[in-house]
Amino acid sequence: MTSATDRIAITPEEHASMTTTTETAPAAPAPPAAPDPDEQRRIRLGGVDAGTVRTNLGAAAGSLALTWVLYERVLPFSGAFGFLIFWYLLFLALSWAISRLQWDVRTVRERLVQSLVAGSGLLVVALILDQIGYVAFRGAHAASHSNFFTQDMRHTATLSPITSGGALHAVVGSLEQLGLATLFAVPLGIAAAVFMSEIGGRLARPVRTVVEAMTALPSIVAGLFILGVWILTLGNQKSGFAASLALTVMMMPIVTRAAEVVIRLVPGTLREASYALGGSQWRTVLSVVLPTARPGLVTAVVLGMARGVGETSPVLLTSGFTSQMNADPFAEHQVSLPLYIWNYVRYPSTDMVARAFAAALTLMVIVLVLFVTARLVGGRRPGELSRRQRRLVARDLAESFTHPSDGTS
């Protein structure tokens, strides 16, 4: 009887034949490869390439020529302002058409938005440069003489030469009034911002409503308020101090709103870390929140100062006008640069008008100095260490490695 092992046994020749057949059997055909999807074109976001520059230059040249033909020769229009608007609209249309011949719709749309944004920025810069250039052109004749910054108008009449008189008393008055207003408005504004953002409560919403309403308050209303309360009711005379009170009313809501926004940007984790270390609320605000928000607070202060330095109507109602130097803001009338400009620009004499424009140029320089100072002081991001703080940290680390404490390696 044959066993199951004998029935499945194979000879060596059969095994070799089976191995050869298995090795030489053709491989199964591979499944067809899926078609590769169309390669997506990468779009470069931001920046300017050569194609964009050539397209914009061509569209600008073509739209300029077409605008000159249509606006000046065909259509019954005239004027530089309308010419520029017509040119800009034709530039956008030609830029869209030329770009559509080169790129897809999404890329063309992005390039068109870039042109709109860049055009808006250039328009703003052009308007600012035009104002500065016009004021500098009209006031350069008076500002080029040193007497403008060293004399007052005490001995200067309407027909006096340009070498007589200046705006020294107005510069001193503006700086003193702005300094006093800043001294009053900054602590009050920052305190109100801390109250609304850190303390809150039932009074936070009414205070915020009043501050927002004061932000849109006409400047002459602030002057009338100080005139009615400080001068007419309390019996005080017009002075630089009264003008600084009116400027305080104008500056305080600006400082408060800007400071509140900056304080709310401070991360809540910093407050929680201070509370976890046992710090009280006032200590957290004083040592953590305000130092972290210091760059933004500086910007808020400078914004308020820029608002107050150019006000005319509050100063006109509260400080009076004088052509003499008065360095005491608490007694007698005191003039400022905006009031100086308002008074002398109305004169029919060209030299008086030139003095007014020179004073306006001086006021622009003061505002520019304020904003540059804010940029330098508040350029750091919230929480970023200053150079001095980084040097102190580096010195402490070096000392800790040089002289390690006991029990450390």
Same domain as 352, residue 222: yes
Q: Is residue 266 part of a domain?
A: yes
Is 59 strand, coil or helix? helix
Please check the confidence at residue 182 and state whether its pLDDT lies above 60. yes
* Domain range enclosing 95: 53-143
Model pLDDT for residues 370-404, shown as the tens digit of each residue: 888 777 776 555 556 667 767 877 887 888 777 66
Q: Is residue 158 part of a domain?
A: no
Max Cα–Cα distance, the chain, nearest Å: 148
Average per-residue pLDDT in the chain?
Answer: 84
Q: Per the structure, how many domains does the chain have?
A: 2
264-268, 317-321, 393-397: least confident range: 393-397
Instruction: Give the Cα-Cα-Cα angle 353, 308, 165 (nearest 5 degrees).
Output: 30
Same domain as 384, residue 242: yes
Which of 128, 143, 158 is a domain's end point? Answer: 143
Task: Let me know: does 165 contact 355? Beta carbons within 8 Å.
Answer: yes
Same domain as 246, residue 344: yes
Structure tokens at 53: 């520059």
Same domain as 131, residue 194: no
Q: Is residue 128 part of a domain?
A: yes
Same domain as 334, residue 272: yes
Q: Is residue 245 part of a domain?
A: yes
Q: Is residue 91 part of a domain?
A: yes
Model pLDDT for residues 208-254, shown as the tens digit of each residue: 999 999 988 888 999 999 999 999 999 999 999 999 999 999 999 99
Q: How does residue 24 score in pLDDT terms, banded at 50, 70 and 90?
A: very low
Same domain as 227, residue 89: no
Place of tokens 């400078």: 302
Residue range 284-288: mean pLDDT, rounded: 90
Q: Is residue 250 part of a domain?
A: yes
Residue range 130-147: mean pLDDT, rounded: 91
Same domain as 180, residue 117: no
CATH number where 214 lies:
1.10.3720.10
- Concatenating the DSSP letter of every residue in 83-125 gives HHHHHHHHHHHHHHHHHHTTS-HHHHHHHHHHHHHHHHHHHHH
Please check the confidence at residue 17 and state whether its pLDDT lies above 70. no
CA distances to 225, 239, 406 from 400, rounded to whole Å, are 60, 58, 11
Same domain as 244, residue 128: no
How far apart CA 315 and CA 330 sit, in angstroms, is 14
CA distances to 58, 79, 114, 142 from 91, rounded to whole Å, are 9, 18, 13, 42
Place of tokens 């606006």: 71
Q: Is residue 195 part of a domain?
A: yes
Same domain as 320, residue 211: yes
Same domain as 189, residue 133: no
Same domain as 324, residue 283: yes
Structure tokens at 277: 């270390």
